[in-house]
Every structure is written in structure tokens, then in C-alpha cells.
Amino acid sequence: MPLSPTFNAVQNAGPKAALLISNGTAEDLIGARLAGLLRLPVRYCPLVGEGRAYTAVSEAVRVGRVLRLPSGGFPFGSVGNLRADVAAGLVQESLGQWQDAVQGARGAGVVVVVGDAYALMVGTLAARRAGIGLIHVQPLLSAQYLEGLSVRGAMQELNALGANLPMPYELRLAAGARAVFVRDAPTAAYYAARGVAARWAGSFAMDVLAAPERDLSQFTRHKPPVLALIPGSREDHRQSLPPMLLASARLPEFTALVAWPHDWDAVTLPAGWALDIGSETKAYATGEGVRVPVLRGAFGAIAHAADVAIGTAGTANEQLAGLGKPVVAFATAGPQFTAGFARRQGRLLGEALSVVDADPDALAAEVRALRQDGPRRARAALAGMTRIGPAGALPVIAEEVQRAAGV
């Protein structure tokens, strides 16, 4: 697929650009927020999906083809995920993206990779072919994933081994980068012990957490506390929203709010429930005597207002934990929040995350137990804020990118 005419027109004009390569929804969001801080032209190459987050960046130019994967970017989450992605053209289209990235780096001043080892390989090739510097932003790995991981547990998670810790080849590639930024201090120490001078400047997850987008008092003023329902941006939501809603019906002392990132036609309800759509941003799920607001474009507001959350999400769960809000989770059949993913996130978040059965009664009991046990809730809050850490990384990285580009 040829690059866009807009890209061809600006390739050799003006100041040196930054080429951002990212491979995932959260990675795109981090890349887009970083791009918005840069004082130089931006090109972006999303390796999974369309990279919609970048469309908010004025004059940013997309390069390369769009790869839509059935797994949503988790080909190694299960054998089924991998088979579906291969059938969808994973291998052929990925090789084409490597060529796109090389072409996109021509005339640029720096390549910035936001993502895992695979994205780093693509970025390394592009930077070397263009003879320019490389900066790696690694928001996925954490040395905290290794805490309490037994040999047996590691064997159960072989498909996620490269997501638990950097493989030797990733460390070799990272060692060739101008700068490497990781998600927490323990991971920076892990890299340093293996000869890579990685830096921790703050939490990427908290950097991209939106401020409250709207006033929620119409929903919360009469019945605090607030229970946030976070089904996530992946297809897991089709399995996870129904038990969340059923659990909320068993918790009349809470005001439940659903943070919904999809279109209304994607809402999956429990049997006997109905969806009453009020506007583009507000609907109500009704059933079993309750009426639960389902809100689009309000994740930041719900996250800040929440007392407790039920979540089957990656970054969103981490953001709730980083705010000091305990999160109750349960495994789905995938593609993202599988039992293995839940175990990994539990090691990352510690007491901030409780994993229970995908049963409305079990979910409701765990939420109620957290609410009633003040010391436990305090330990969960401290664990989340400590293990995720404060915001502040992206402005530091933006300055490093601009220096690398000669700005």
C-alpha cells in the first residue's frame, strides 16, 4: 500500500519530523499524547488498527497500511487468537508494515517506538535504514510482573513470557537506542542490571488519564458511593458487561456507572435487560429493578468519582489503581483479560486488584467487602498508587525527542 499523498508532500519539507511507531490501543494513546507535546512535525505508524488516537493531533500524518487483527493486538494471548490473526493476513501485512516504517523514517529526525519488542524491531530497522536516532518507550513490561512468579507459573505463561520481562534480544535492541523509558522504577533497575540505561520518569498510564470530562452530580448526588464498571476497550466487553450489571443490581447501596468506549450497538446486556439510549453520550441499562447509566466519553470523570471499580481492562484498571481505587476483576475467554492476563495484572497491582469468579454474587460480595473493610481498602489504595506511580513521564520524553531531532 503506498503512503498517503499528504505524507509524500511533506516528506522532504520543513524541520525534521518525529516518526512514532506504536502497536496497541494504549500505546497509540501514549504516542498521541506525546505527539501533542512535540514542537516538530509528527508522522505516526500504528502497527495494530487505525491509530485513531493520533487524529486528535493537529497535522499529524499517518504512514503505512492499516492492520486490523481479530485479536485486537493479542495474537499470542491464545492459540485461537493466533490462528485468527494469521488467517487475517498477520504475516503478509506485517512484513508490508516494516517497509512502510522504513519509508516513513526517510527524512525524519528521530524514530520513537511506543510498544513492545516487536515494535522495537520495526523501529530499529527504520531508524538504522534512515541513519537516525531511536527512542524506545516501553509501557508494557514491569519487573513487578515477576514478583511471586514460580517456575510452574512461568511455564503456564510461556505465551506471555516476553510480556513479563524483556527477552535478551529486546535488551540488545534497547541498548542501541538513544534513550529508553520504562513504566516504573523496579523495571529501570532490572534493565540497568543487564547493561541498559533505562529511565523511569513517571507513569505513562497516569499521564494519559483524562481529567473529568463532565459533571456527574446528576447521577451521584443522592446515592454515593460510586461503583465504576469498566468492561474495557477490547472485545472482552461482550462477556464482561452482563455480569457487571448483574452485580450492580445486587449492590443497591452503590451508584453504578458504566464507562463505555464503544458504539451503542455493541452493548451486550443480561437476559431480560433493556438499553434506553438518551443521546450520543448517555444511555441507561435497565433490569432487575435498577437503572444503570452507561456513559460514553466519561472515563476520566467516572474514574475520579469511583470508590470501587469492577474492571476487565488493561490500562484502565491500572489507572483506577493509580488513583487509589480498588479494582475487582474476573477472567474472560479473551482476547485480552484471560486468566493468565488476570494473574499477571494481579502481580503488577498487588492488593489493589482482587480477582474473583465471573459470578455476579461473587463480584457483589467482593465489592461490599472492600467497602466495609477500611484497613483493607487503605492497603489497596496505597498499593495501587505506589506500584503505578505518579504522572510526569511524557513531558520529559518530549524534551528528549526534540533534542534527538535537533530542535
Burial of 205 (0-12, 13-18, 19+ CB in 10 A): buried
Task: Name the residue with cell 464503544.
Answer: 262
Angle at 228 between CA 227 and CA 233, to 5 degrees: 160
pLDDT tens per residue, range 8-26: 444 444 569 999 999 988 9
Distance CA 42, CA 21 (A): 11
Strand ranges, E, within 55-154? 61-62, 110-114, 133-138
| Mean pLDDT in residue range 178-190 | 96
Round to whole Å and give the CA distance between 285 and 32: 32
In order of their start, the domains of the chain are: 5-208+391-404 (3.40.50.2000), 217-388 (3.40.50.2000)
Sheet holding 327-329, edge to edge: 274-277, 282-287, 290-296, 255-260, 226-230, 308-311, 327-329, 353-355
Whether residue 159 has pLDDT greater than 80: no
Average of per-residue pLDDT across 370-383? 97
Q: What digits encode the pLDDT tens for the residues 332-368?
A: 998 889 998 999 999 999 999 999 999 999 999 999 9
Of all residues in the chain, the percent with pLDDT exceeding 90 is 76
Q: Rounded to an integer, what distance in angstroms lies between the CA atom of residue 220 and that of residue 216?
A: 6
**Tens digits of residue pLDDT in 53-80:** 999 998 999 998 777 666 655 655 556 6
205 pairs with which residues across the strands? none
Q: Which residue has the higher pLDDT, 151 or 119?
A: 119
Judged against a pLDDT cut of 50, whether residue 260 lies above it is answered with yes
- pLDDT at res. 9: 42
> If you average pLDDT over residues 130-147, what whole number do you get?
94
Residue 10's pLDDT is what? 43
pLDDT band with cut points at 50, 70 and 90 for residue 143? very high
Q: C-alpha cell of 166?
A: 524483556
pLDDT tens per residue, range 197-225? 999 999 999 999 999 999 999 998 777 89
pLDDT of residue 71: 64
DSSP label at 350? Answer: G
pTM for this structure? Answer: 0.86
pLDDT at 158 over 60: no
